[in-house]
Amino acid sequence: MSIVVTGLSHHSSPVELRERFAFSEPQLPNALDLLIERGIADEAVILSTCNRVEIYAARREDDPSLGKSLQQYLCEFHNISETPKDAIYSYCDRQSIDHLFRVACGIDSMVLGETEILGQLKLAYKLAHTKKATGPLLNKTFQKAFQVAKLVRSETQIQRGSISVSSVAVELAESIFDSLKAQQVLVIGAGDTSEKAARALRSRGARSILVSNRSHDRAVALAAELDGQAIGYENWEKEFQHVDIIISSTAAPHYILTRNKLEGMLRQRGHRPLLLVDIAVPRDIDPGCNQLENVYVYNIDDLQTIAGQYLEQRKAELELCQHLIDAKRNELLDNIKVHPDKTNIGLFKQPAGS
């Protein structure tokens, strides 16, 4: 019997190539059907995300050409005649199981230790199972992968701490305030990073989001997406006394909030904590504001430093993660009788014009 994974990921190919191989949601059922009907695989699961496109397939008899057949199928399905050298990888048996376990645990992801991929993997498996495209081999393999992911989450610190700037901002807010449910957020400047931070705060329960931007139309559009309220750029200071968290990312060439200005405004708020997240370059907020009582200022370098520290902590957990994966992979190999010494790893290139 053979278990193979063939595909592309952010490790092997740029986004402009991955998007050519991506399966849309409506395409997936038919793609699974074709794999089985053509006899390419006895069992199959297709995973298609923004960072990877992979086919996990199994044959009940040994098939050393399965990886090559899957690559040809990928190219034919998407009408691609040639791919760059080493863009598509294939791993067989032991290595394919290792790869699946690493993907499920988030340690093969662009963001080390992220959890979104596990949900995407479960959805891909659920569709294949519903379509009766899986059988004994992949059912056992994927169920074990989900168990390993749970074990890694509970036994290691691979998911500890946030390693994106927007997530770090949210984590800081949660450390300052007892709960985000009562907090008012003001976004000044509707840039990409501030938008992500605002979305994350909203998802964690922030009471409401105010958006102020020089382009009022942009503020209105973002406020609508966040179920918030747009306010005129010249009026944001009038809302200050009600605000608990400010995320600022304007293109102003100077500070929009100085220490002297903030001191005067603080009298309106009493002694409530105030979190100022300055994502702008050049900075929007005078660093001297951090010296004021109950005021917490973090700029983009602060956030990236914290994210970097968390990333190093996650990297330190990789050895333990791999140890757990090795143990569970060997358990699975013993159970499904796949040859553990079978390496057969290949990187294949589709011949031009085929």
pLDDT digits 0-9 by tens, 27-48? 999 999 999 999 999 999 999 9
222-267 pLDDT per residue, tens: 999 889 999 999 989 999 999 999 999 998 889 999 999 999 899 8
Q: How confident is the model at residue 114 (pLDDT cuts 50, 70, 90)?
A: confident
Q: Answer yes or no: is 353 within a domain.
A: no
- Report residue 77 as tokens: 């399905």
Q: How large a percentage of the chain has pLDDT more than 90?
A: 64
* Residue 349: predicted pLDDT: 36
Q: How much is the pTM?
A: 0.67
In this predicted model, what pLDDT tens digit does every residue of 325-341 receive, in sequence order? 999 999 999 888 655 44
Domain total of the chain: 2
Catalytic residue (choose from 50, 75, 289, 321): 50
337 alpha-carbon distance from chain centroid: 34
> Is 178 in the same domain as 299?
yes
Two tokens at 202?
A: 């909203």
Share the mean pLDDT of the chain. Answer: 89
> Within this chain, do residues 267 and 328 fall inside the same structural domain, yes or no?
no
Question: Domain residues for 258?
Answer: 165-307
| Residues 172, 247 within the same domain | yes
Residues 217 and 89 grouped into a single domain:
no
The CATH number of the domain holding residue 269 is: 3.40.50.720
Q: What is the pLDDT of residue 338?
A: 58
pLDDT of residue 341: 45
CATH number at residue 74: 3.30.460.30
Residue 221 pLDDT = 92
Q: Is 75 a catalytic residue?
A: no
Cβ–Cβ < 8 Å for 333, 97: yes
150/184 same-domain check:
no
pLDDT in tens, 274-314: 999 999 888 999 999 999 999 999 998 999 888 888 889 88
276 found inside a domain: yes
What is the C-alpha to C-alpha distance for residues 338 and 127, in angstroms, rounded to an integer? Answer: 25
pLDDT band of residue 102 (cuts 50, 70, 90) is: very high
Helices (H), 182-285: 192-203, 216-225, 259-266
128, 186: one domain: no
171 and 265 co-located in one domain: yes
Residue 39 CB neighbour total at 10 angstroms: 9
Does one domain contain both 187 and 214? Answer: yes
Q: Note whether residue 59 is domain-resident.
A: yes
- Domain shared by 140 and 174, yes or no: no
Q: Which pLDDT belongs to residue 200?
A: 87
Task: Give a yes or no: residue 41 inside a domain.
Answer: yes
Q: CA 284, CA 248: separation in Å to the nearest integer?
A: 7
- Is the domain of 131 the same as that of 150? yes
Question: Token pair of 274, please?
Answer: 């105030």
**Do 206 and 128 belong to one domain?**
no
Compute CA 175 distance to the chain's CA centroid, rounded to the nearest angstrom.
23
